[in-house]
Structure 1
Amino acid sequence: MGKTVVFVAATMTNPGIAGVAKGTSEAAGAIGWNLQVIDGDGTPAGINLAFSQALGLDPDGIIVAGFDTKLTSRQVRQAKAAGIPLVGWHVADTPRPGAGSELFANVTTDVQDVARISAQWIIAESGGSAGVVIFTDLSIPFARNKSQLIKRALEDCSGVKILSTEDIPIADSSNQTPQRTASLIGRLGDAWTYSVAINDLYFADAAAALHDAGKPGDGAPLNLGAGDGDPMAFNSIRTGHYQAATVPEPLLEQGWQTIDELNRALSGKPRSGYVAPVHLTTIDNIDGATYWEPADNYREHYMQVWRR
């Protein structure tokens, strides 16, 4: 045991990444590994510096979370040359990186399933008649792909109109989203009835502008987060505070999975291939949850696997 692992985060202001980091920290402690989290602060320069700092620690493995590894191609080559395995979270479009990928594994739900259930909820809730705004971050390939899939699924319903696609970097959401939201209200008026975002964070940042415009917290536009299902989003759904639903990732469990995948890589075993099932959280099934936990025994399961 006693491995050293570094978690390189695109930005820890992304609550999805922060949730996964929390689960990774839990798992590292359980397996007896040392974990260090380095924040890329949401900029290409910061992410490059964070990855370089990770390499400087001479770790046994690196987890990369929430950014395009093309930004850090030099560091990726260095990691490969040094025999340091890389595990991603929301780095590639697919949970199963293809041959030649720099990643040993990419931990995520199936983005096509997430897109499908997100679009289906909006279509069903609106009776097939909705004016939708999409919030995304086109700088992240995973997020770009997700929002494009959602858009296509919504366009399959003739009564749904895509009113706008707002490209806002997650790292700058707190600055840009309030202003964009106010502008959208002024431009679209009551035609804007639903929103879908690739991350719940956008709705926390939009809430003040919606409130100032006199929009009710439990009324139109009804907001759906197509990821990541952080505690703030769960609370907003529970209290009817400018979010109606989320398609959450099992963030804590995925944190444990990142450690399991690294353990497999370091043990010369194949990746697990596990992909968590998709889930929709609304006021009808939220109960007292703060994270989505698809199984309540995954910690014990992983501990048993690691003791073999």
Structure 2
Amino acid sequence: MASPFRRPLAAGFALALGASIALAGCSRGSDAANNTASAAATTASGCADVVATSKAAVDKATATDATWDGPTTGPKAAAGKTIVYVAQSMQNPGVAGVATGLEEAAKTIGWTLKTIDGQGTPAGIQNAFNQALTLKPDGIIIGGFDPATTADQVKQANAGKIPLVGWQALATPGPSSDGKLFSNVTTKVEDVAKISADYIIAKSNGTAGVVIFTDSSIPFAEGKSQMIQKQLQTCSSVNVLKYSNIPLADVASRMPTETNALLSSLGDKWTYSVAINDVYFENATAAFRQAGKTAATAPVNVGAGDGDAAALTRIRTGDFQAATVPSPLRSEGWQIVDELNRAFAGEKASGYVPQIHVSTKDNATADNFWDPAGYQDAFKAIWGK
């Protein structure tokens, strides 16, 4: 993360659904013969009900007309506030995307926003948080890192009655007593994991041979990939071929070699991949090309977060990624500002959990962001702006 499974600065990551596909069989074609064969295999396996349920979920998640389903009421804008965004790393596209939303929202509500870059290291993040506290702001945003890594700074903010709002700071959305966050803005990891697996089940008609890429050193990431595996296994004819543990810090160096090894050992059995973060596929594309693969013959790659611009570009251009589950980064920035405004007014957090979406070549847009329509107007109306 910026949260643990986002791209770390030290690895130099560039921190997702790309080739246009209508996969119906266990191979990567879209011809009628494959479709018929897959449907037969699915029926024989007793997975038809799972496939049907997965297809319905994917149809809903890929809809292009998703509108704002978040708060429409709340306190009017507090005047003259200063807030600080402590960013895990502004080289992390997810963190930077939220910063864009924060900047837009702060300007709209009439507040001063200061961003301090933690530069992707524990020491840098702690230093950035210390700087934030020195500024004595009205509110602080924990941008993509576990507040437990800055426990002393969190305690100081709590003691100073400075409201804290996280972005993907914890696995669970909403208020937190452990670390004392007024709210944590994030999608539900279980929803992201489920729809990622559902996409594979639906598009393969329940006949996929899957490799899962994860970072088992990070409990949050490991939990996410375990959820994905569990959902895949609800379809008995889906075969998890390999559970590949590659730490995020090593993705750039290890993913090309791992991709080559898997192509060699698994061959055509490997038809789908799912990773806890899109960055795994960023570092696999060269290996696919060197192996002579194309979008039609390579495994179909699915990112279980977080839909950064690089991933969405790969999806739009068919560059060895077919889908991702993007975070609505800009609208999450606006939600963070709204949550702080509720804290300043002495009200409860909104309780809103951002909706789940799946980006594919069919619905990805040229601006390489996804956000539900109407969120800006909704917040402006709440704030009286």
- The normalised TM-score by structure 2 is 0.73
2:358 aligned residue: 280
Query: Which string of whole-angstrom CA distances, capped at 9 and with x for unpartnered residues, describes residues 245-266 of structure 1?
Result: 1111111101111111111112
- Residues in 2 aligned to 1:57 and 1:206: alpha-carbon distance in whole angstroms: 43
Cα RMSD of the aligned pairs, angstroms, is: 2.2
Segment drifting more, 238-247 vs 215-224 = 215-224
1:92 aligned residue: 170
Runs (5+) with no aligned partner, structure 1: none
Work out the percentage of aligned pairs sharing the same amino acid: 55
Are positions 1:204 and 2:273 aligned together? no
Q: CA deviation at 1:242?
A: 0.9
1:9-28 → structure 2 map (5 Å cutoff): 9-28=87-106
| Alignment-mate amino acid for residue 27 of structure 1 | A
**Secondary structure of the structure 1 residue equivalent to 2:336:** helix
| Alignment-mate amino acid for residue 284 of structure 2 | A
1:307 aligned residue: 384
- Residues in 2 aligned to 1:29 and 1:4: alpha-carbon distance in whole angstroms: 11
- Residues in 2 aligned to 1:53 and 1:184: alpha-carbon distance in whole angstroms: 46
Q: CA deviation at 1:139?
A: 5.3
Question: Cα 1:190–1:157, aligned 2, differ >3 Å: closer, same or farther?
Answer: same
Report if aligned partners of 1:132, 1:192 keep a CA contact under 8 Å in 2.
yes
Question: Cα 1:304–1:85, aligned 2, differ >3 Å: closer, same or farther?
Answer: same
**Secondary structure of the structure 1 residue equivalent to 2:313:** helix
- Residues in 2 aligned to 1:117 and 1:224: alpha-carbon distance in whole angstroms: 10
Report if aligned partners of 2:151, 2:179 keep a CA contact under 8 Å in 1.
no
Are positions 1:8 and 2:86 aligned together? yes
Question: Cα 1:108–1:21, aligned 2, differ >3 Å: closer, same or farther?
Answer: same
Larger-gyration structure (1/2): 2
- Residues in 2 aligned to 1:139 and 1:125: alpha-carbon distance in whole angstroms: 30
Segment drifting more, 242-251 vs 217-226 = 217-226
2:214 aligned residue: 136
Q: CA deviation at 1:303?
A: 1.7
Query: Which string of whole-angstrom CA distances, capped at 9 and with x for unpartnered residues, describes residues 133-171 of structure 1?
Result: 2233445554333222112111222223331233322x6
1:260-279 → structure 2 map (5 Å cutoff): 260-279=338-357
Question: Cα 1:290–1:214, aligned 2, differ >3 Å: closer, same or farther?
Answer: same
2:320 aligned residue: 242
1:164 to 243, 248, 251: 243
Query: Which string of whole-angstrom CA distances, capped at 9 and with x for unpartnered residues, describes residues 193-244 of structure 1?
Result: 2111222232222212222222213442111111212222222111110110
Segment drifting more, 138-147 vs 253-262 = 138-147
| Alignment-mate amino acid for residue 380 of structure 2 | M
Q: CA deviation at 1:27?
A: 0.9
Query: Which string of whole-angstrom CA distances, capped at 9 and with x for unpartnered residues, describes residues 37-96 of structure 1?
Result: 222232222222222222222221111122221111111111111111111111222212
1:48 to 123, 126, 146: 126
Question: Cα 1:47–1:287, aligned 2, differ >3 Å: closer, same or farther?
Answer: closer
Runs (5+) with no aligned partner, structure 2: 1-78
Q: CA deviation at 1:189?
A: 3.6
Report if aligned partners of 1:4, 1:60 keep a CA contact under 8 Å in 2.
yes
Report if aligned partners of 2:215, 2:247 keep a CA contact under 8 Å in 1.
yes
Are positions 1:233 and 2:233 aligned together? no
- Residues in 1 aligned to 2:122 and 2:264: alpha-carbon distance in whole angstroms: 33
Question: Cα 1:240–1:140, aligned 2, differ >3 Å: closer, same or farther?
Answer: same
Q: CA deviation at 1:291?
A: 1.3
- The normalised TM-score by structure 1 is 0.90
Aligned length: 306
Report if aligned partners of 2:88, 2:145 keep a CA contact under 8 Å in 1.
yes
Report if aligned partners of 1:93, 1:141 keep a CA contact under 8 Å in 2.
no
- Residues in 1 aligned to 2:223 and 2:214: alpha-carbon distance in whole angstroms: 10
Query: Which string of whole-angstrom CA distances, capped at 9 and with x for unpartnered residues, describes residues 83-118 of structure 1?
Result: 111111112222123545511111112222211111
1:195 to 273, 281, 301: 273
Question: Cα 1:50–1:206, aligned 2, differ >3 Å: closer, same or farther?
Answer: farther
- Residues in 1 aligned to 2:267 and 2:230: alpha-carbon distance in whole angstroms: 24
- Residues in 2 aligned to 1:254 and 1:107: alpha-carbon distance in whole angstroms: 7
